[in-house]
Structure 1
Amino acid sequence: SPMIGNNGINAIDYESIDPTVKGIIANDIALNISDSENFEDLSSFLKEKKIPAIFKVDTRALVHRLMEEGTIKASIMDTNDEHAFDQIKALVLPKNKSAMVSTKNAYASPNVGKTVAVIDLGLKHSMLRALSLRKVNATVLPYNVSAADIENLRPEGIIISNGPGKPDEAINQLSSILDKFYGKYPILGIGLGFLALSDYLDFELVDLPQEFNGINYPVIEQNTNTIWQTSMNIDQLVLPDSIKMNMNREYFDLHSELMAGFWNTKDKLIATAFNPEGAPGTHDADEIFDYFVQMME
């Protein structure tokens, strides 16, 4: 029986206040669920959120094409004329994708512990849940927050979240913040935050032959040879030879041998290409949050 959608959808599992996905393509989906009182079926959810979807598509063949060609423009249409295809080809995609998914207004995820400013480039709520478990008092801020606004919070640490887009897009917004706070407060960068920090430090970013999108990307920590199975959504990693500073810990992707994470306690810095909270995926790497909290002590 179809696997996609058969569990239904519960608001407690939401990773954002509203989904930002523009469409869904699937092979087969479950149109009915057993627990309709507590869960919403996928079809109703998509209609409610006005998200178009198409199924009965050979997604395996589509994935193979995307692996060969990389990201391509696409649209779900009910027509098959050349004019529609010309419109897609002429479409100019927005450059700063973080602006499309970031919160518009600051909001609190309060707790009794360390105060952390979270710059939202497209964060998942699972990251906030992971911080809450560690009693972190977090304030989520828009992607274009100013250094002055961050300073007014008197944070003890800063997190730059994961999100869509390229590091050069993100660094335009983040460079003034990093100029002011790098080395002053502990900083944790995840995903796009990892890329932005690497770009800021002039590390060489290498395009991956195929984007990493999934929950089965192993990384190894150099000092202990510990292997974590991690979740990644990223298209670049760091060339190890381009790093000219000593790191306390370094994480390498086992597929490419490129660097997927690093720590520097002197500069109060942690950055990971992978998502420590998983969601979906394992929680192998969630101790990264523990290290970050310890760095704020």
Structure 2
Amino acid sequence: MKAVLGLEDGQFVVGEGFGVEGECAGELVFNTQMTGYMESLTDPSYFGQILMFTFPLIGNYGVDPKNFQNPKVCALGCITKEICEKPAALPSIRSFFEENRLLGMTGVDTRALTIKTRVHGTMRAALVVGSDDGASAVQLARRTPTICDTVPIPEVSCREPYHVKGCGKRIAVIDLGIKKNMLISLSKRGGDLHVFPYNATADQVLACRPDALFVSNGPGDPKQATDAIRCMKDLIGQMPVFGICMGNQVAALALGGDTYKLKFGHRGANQPVRFKDGRIFITTQNHGFAVDAASLPEGTNVTYTNVNDGTVEGFENEDLCLTTVQFHPEAHGGPRDTEEHFFDGLFRRIA
């Protein structure tokens, strides 16, 4: 099939489509992972975005649902240089996209598009499978709202509260688009998890008598997570509070701090962060926004910083028993350097 990717600046790229005919439009973002492509495609934080892989060959070990972070693919579409037609295990990426009516495009110079994104910043894009009309794709990209003008969290959060039974501490979880492995990392340490939708109130959370509050990752601009910000603001100081990724940003906003959009974000499994004691961890990340360190209130200290650009990768407030990280300690298909470091520390603090 023909396929075309149009960018809001007027450039378009023609390639080969895979999956089914159709179109989608949103931010074009790149991920530098060499493995874990299905973990990324099913990560709810990619909802509303077209995901481009910088590693040149995607799909060489097929598609294994056990690696999914959500029951379905959350990214709008997939852009690759090449997909593996004869993977080590079945189904292949091509057959999976066809059976699940997903949109993909291969045969693209992803290196050139990545360099362009790093120079000019993240752009709106439109992927059209079944056509090579670049002008129409560009116009579709230009008509698409920016990520700051959309509210994607309700699309990926759970609809109703649910319970994941455990034998240990009771943890209230605010689901802003939670990855499966976050729940696994909490459960395998005995967490008795009470999971709430994005718009849960403080009273609803307190009704389950939690020992701690955990706020998950999620897509879009954290300033749009107004319900979670309000809930977290009401609960900080009443119990230990923890957050990952958007949970980190929501915590900053709940404290009266600020966040801002990064030029092209951090997405991949090779992001080095420096802990407050000087140790360096290699982490998996997926975010396009960051916390403004200067905006954090007195008593709140940055605990992790990104080695590449110095952005905030986590902070704490010991008086409020608040601990957050921007990266993903639970990530599979990526380094696990910080899983025990973060989650074991979480349970020690609520022991």
Q: Check whether TM > 0.5.
A: yes
Q: Following TM superposition, by how much is the alpha carbon of 1:138 offset from its aligned partner in structure 2, in angstroms? A: 1.4
One of 155, 167, 175 as aligned partner of 2:222: 167
Q: Quick one: which amino acid aligns to residue 139 of structure 1?
A: H
Contact 2:170 2:210 (C-alpha < 8 Å) held by counterparts:
yes
Q: Secondary structure at the match of 2:262?
A: strand
Contact 2:243 2:323 (C-alpha < 8 Å) held by counterparts:
yes
Q: Secondary structure at the match of 2:72?
A: coil
Match of 2:105 in 1: 54
Q: Secondary structure at the match of 2:73?
A: coil
The range that moved more, 270-279 or 86-95, is 86-95
Change (3 A) 1:3 1:122: same
Match of 2:278 in 1: 225
> 1: CA distance between counterparts of 2:207 and 2:217?
23
> 2: CA distance between counterparts of 1:293 and 1:137?
12
Match of 1:254 in 2: 307
Q: Quick one: which amino acid aligns to residue 44 of structure 1?
A: S
Q: Secondary structure at the match of 2:125?
A: coil
The range that moved more, 261-270 or 234-243, is 234-243
Match of 1:27 in 2: 81
Does structure 1 residue 214 correspond to structure 2 residue 268?
Answer: yes
One of 29, 44, 67 as aligned partner of 1:13: 67
Q: Following TM superposition, by how much is the alpha carbon of 1:81 offset from its aligned partner in structure 2, in angstroms? A: 5.8
Match of 1:268 in 2: 321
Match of 2:153 in 1: 98
Q: Secondary structure at the match of 2:124?
A: coil
Q: Deviations over 1:184-224 (max 9, x none)?
A: 111111111111111222334354343111111211122x2
Q: Deviations over 1:73-121 (max 9, x none)?
A: 2222214164453333223356112122222233332221111121111
- Structure 2: which 5+ residue stretches go unaligned? 1-55
What aligned pairs does 1:144-163 form with structure 2 within 5 A after superposition? 144-163=199-218
Contact 1:24 1:52 (C-alpha < 8 Å) held by counterparts:
yes
Change (3 A) 1:70 1:108: farther
Q: Following TM superposition, by how much is the alpha carbon of 1:156 offset from its aligned partner in structure 2, in angstroms? A: 1.3
Q: Secondary structure at the match of 1:245?
A: coil
Change (3 A) 1:248 1:89: closer
> 2: CA distance between counterparts of 1:81 and 1:33?
31
One of 120, 138, 151 as aligned partner of 1:85: 138
Q: Quick one: which amino acid aligns to residue 95 of structure 1?
A: T
Q: Secondary structure at the match of 1:255?
A: coil
Match of 1:72 in 2: 123
Q: Following TM superposition, by how much is the alpha carbon of 1:158 offset from its aligned partner in structure 2, in angstroms? A: 1.2
> 1: CA distance between counterparts of 2:137 and 2:234?
48
Q: Secondary structure at the match of 1:73?
A: strand
Does structure 1 residue 119 correspond to structure 2 residue 186?
Answer: no
The range that moved more, 187-196 or 203-212, is 203-212
Q: Following TM superposition, by how much is the alpha carbon of 1:64 offset from its aligned partner in structure 2, in angstroms? A: 1.2
> 2: CA distance between counterparts of 1:179 and 1:162?
17
Q: Secondary structure at the match of 2:303?
A: strand
* RMSD (Å) for aligned C-alpha atoms: 2.1
Q: Quick one: which amino acid aligns to residue 186 of structure 1?
A: P
> 1: CA distance between counterparts of 2:199 and 2:164?
19
Q: Following TM superposition, by how much is the alpha carbon of 1:55 offset from its aligned partner in structure 2, in angstroms? A: 0.5
Contact 2:233 2:255 (C-alpha < 8 Å) held by counterparts:
no
Contact 2:221 2:289 (C-alpha < 8 Å) held by counterparts:
no
> 1: CA distance between counterparts of 2:228 and 2:263?
27
